[in-house]
Amino acid sequence: MGVSEKLGQLGVVTTTLEQAVNWGRTRAMWPMLFGLACCAIEMMSTQAGHYDLSRFGMELMRPSPRQSDLMIVAGRVSRKMAPVLRQLYDQMPAPKWVISMGDCASCGGVFNNYAIVQGVDEIVPVDVYVAGCPPRPEQLVHGIITLHEKVKEMYWNEWAKSE
């Protein structure tokens, strides 16, 4: 936090560096496996040969929060799962991003009831919502590209303040 806040006020040097860093972040954004329902099947096929997330530097999904930058919440989050999800999110090192994949994760989808969290943004800050039930692998890839666009516009000043 300290360094990035100071660096954020150095003008043209850091603007270029910022772009380089943001570019770097988009090229190797390791996702955390968080498959909860049928969306996970589509997430697996996005990872597999035909769509191959390795093209975006996401070599493999790993269920290890300390080594990941991106949490893809794929599927419906029950009330009982919510604290677990939050804990895993807290364990991820910053900067970290969240993609809410599919209808159920984004806003509950068809499961408008007491057992399902009506959108994971009740628990964690979500960067990109991907619609679909479940989304096609292309839709998830499109969501990831949307996230890349968002990350490329991130500024350290704002980022440091939000921490």
Partner 1 sequence: MSIFKGLGTVVKHLLEDPVTISYPEVERPVRERFKGKHALKRYDNGLEKCIGCALCAAACPADAIWVEAAENTDEERYSPGERYAKTYEINMLRCIFCGYCEDACPTEAIVLEHEYRLSFTDRRDSIYTKEMLIDAPPDGVPETPQKVEPGAFDRAIPDMENPK
Assess 59 for contact with partner 1 (CB under 8 A): no
Q: How many residues bind partner 1 (CB under 8 A)?
A: 32
Site track for partner 1 across 97-116, x = CB under 8 A? ------x--xxxxx-x----
**DSSP assignment of 24-60:** HHHHS-PEEP-B-STHHHHHHHHHSTTT-GGGGT---
Q: Tokens in use for 134? A: 């479940």
Binding segment for partner 1 among 9-17, 18-26, 70-78, 141-149 (CB under 8 A)? 141-149
Binding segment for partner 1 among 16-24, 28-36, 79-87, 135-143 (CB under 8 A)? 135-143
Q: Which one, of 8, 50, 58, 9, lies nearest residue 30 by Cα?
A: 58
If the CB atoms of residues 20 and 48 are measured against partner 1, the closer one turns out to be 48
User: Is the Cα dihedral 94, 78, 75, 150 positive or negative?
Assistant: negative
73 beta partners: 100
Binding segment for partner 1 among 17-25, 33-41, 57-65, 131-139 (CB under 8 A)? 131-139
Q: Which residue has the tokens 């603007």?
A: 15
Binding segment for partner 1 among 12-20, 34-42, 66-74, 120-128 (CB under 8 A)? 120-128
Assess 50 for contact with partner 1 (CB under 8 A): yes
Q: Which one, of 82, 138, 127, 147, lies nearest residue 108 by Cα?
A: 82
Where on the chain is the footprint of partner 1 (CB under 8 A)? 49-52, 55, 103, 106-110, 112, 119, 121, 127-133, 135-139, 141-143, 145-146, 150
